[in-house]
Amino acid sequence: MVDALELVGDYVNVVWDPDYREARDVSVADEYFEFFAVKTTQCDVCNKAVTMDDSVVVYSLTVKQNRSFVDRFSREESGVWTQFLAKDWSVWLMCKDDAHKWGFLY
Ligand SMILES: [Zn+2]
């Protein structure tokens, strides 16, 4: 089993604000769609086409702290997901189906 935050330690030296480390950061996707000036885009998890109404933004630390999500995608043979989870600190645009499936939304 992979500890989500151990992934980070392999690549960078991160100092965590204790308050933020406990944060669960999921928000509406309006600003994402406005910033990129698009009506639809793809879910970062399943590649399904999504709109702002059927997606959410999940912040990178929240994704990395989701043990079941990290365990699932760290088992990919290519290792691409493991590297992606460890190195990429951009937000994840996620369809609400995946957000529910992985426990980011209740
Ligand atoms: Zn999805």
Cα(66) to centroid(ligand 1), Å:
16
HEC assignment per residue over the chain: CCCHHHHHHCCCCCCCCHHHHCCCCEEECHHHHHHHCCCCEECCCCCCEECHHHEEEECHHHHHCCHHHHHHHHCCCCCHHHHHHHHCCCCEEEEHHHHHHCCCCC
Does 29 map to a domain?
Answer: yes
Cα(86) to centroid(ligand 1), Å:
20
**Residues spanned by the domain of 28:** 4-101
**Could you read off the pLDDT of 50-94 as tens digits, one per residue?**
999 999 999 988 998 888 888 888 777 667 777 777 778 889 999
Does 106 map to a domain?
Answer: no
**Could you read off the pLDDT of 55-65 as tens digits, one per residue?**
999 998 899 88
Cα(93) to centroid(ligand 1), Å:
9
The whole-model pTM stands at 0.78
Does 32 map to a domain?
Answer: yes
Q: Tell me how many domains the chain contains.
A: 1
